[in-house]
């Protein structure tokens, strides 16, 4: 009866050493990368919020681990800011963290409370970075104010930028009438049902040349020139 010969494989210290070396390099690399801190934080899209406001809300003011810091947790923290409409976090080569955000627009400020009314109709009293916006200078009944906010959403941003102050100026026949003080020295009477007409302001002003006066958009479209 023949006996089968069993081939014995010799233990290779060389291969084992290479394997251990590979594990060591892999483990060290993972450990090193997981403990590398964020090198730079870039905030993109903020006009109202300061960079430090966004960084603190994101929870990365101490420049934590680049890999261990969750994009979701950063986005959740920044999205909690009342002025932030949407946020997206990107991690880039060189351990750079980019936070891209979109803010709500500011429609106007209420002088009596100091609050800013945003394009989502919410009011915030957050400290803003020298934001220019029209200022509502007197009291407006809540029902009229709600309608005003909705109608001001119809205004182009460049038109809003031309308004300095807003005064509630109702009449016996029109409780939604406002007087707008423009940055160029003109006055504009507007009723909320005709708010969209104000988007033609630049065109109207261009036709009037250097003349200054009062533009009536509440009861007929006409311009009264100042003497």
Q: Mean pLDDT throughout 106-127?
A: 88
186 and 141 fall within a common domain: yes
Per-residue pLDDT, 36 = 77
pTM: 0.76
Mean pLDDT, rounded, for 101-130: 86
Average pLDDT of every residue of the chain:
85
**Beta partners for residue 84, in sequence order:** 103
Q: Which of 103, 131, 155 is the last residue of a domain?
A: 103
Most confident segment among 4-18, 25-39, 119-133: 119-133
The answer as to whether 1 is a domain residue is: no
Number of domains making up the chain: 2
- CATH number for position 143: 3.40.50.10960
Q: Give the range of the structural domain holding residue 167, as residue numbers without chain letter.
A: 106-225
Q: 40-78: string of b/e by CB count within 10 Å (b at 16+)?
A: ebebebbebbeeebbbebbebeeeeebeebeeeebbebb
Contact in structure between 71 and 57 (CB atoms under 8 Å):
no
């Amino acid at each position: 009866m023949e006996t089968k010969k069993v081939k014995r494989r010799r233990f290779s210290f060389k291969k084992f050493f290479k394997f251990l070396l590979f594990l060591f390099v892999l483990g060290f690399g993972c450990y090193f990368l997981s403990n590398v801190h964020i090198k730079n934080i870039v905030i993109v899209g903020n006009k109202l919020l300061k960079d430090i406001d966004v960084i603190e809300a994101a929870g990365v003011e101490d420049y934590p681990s680049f890999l261990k810091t969750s994009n979701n947790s950063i986005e959740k923290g920044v999205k909690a800011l009342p002025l932030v409409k949407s946020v997206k976090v990107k991690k880039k080569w060189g351990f750079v963290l980019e936070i891209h955000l979109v803010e709500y627009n500011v429609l106007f400020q209420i002088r009596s409370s100091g609050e800013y009314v945003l394009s989502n109709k919410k009011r915030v009293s957050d400290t803003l970075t020298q934001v220019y916006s029209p200022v509502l200078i007197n009291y407006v009944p809540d029902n009229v104010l709600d309608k005003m906010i909705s109608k001001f959403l119809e205004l182009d941003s460049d038109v809003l930028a031309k308004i300095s102050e807003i005064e509630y100026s109702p009449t016996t026949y029109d409780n939604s009438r406002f007087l707008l003080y423009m940055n160029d020295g003109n006055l504009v009477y507007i009723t909320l049902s005709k708010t969209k007409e104000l988007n033609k302001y630049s065109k109207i002003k261009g036709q009037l040349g250097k003349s200054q006066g009062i533009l009536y958009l509440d009861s007929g479209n006409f311009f009264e020139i100042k003497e």
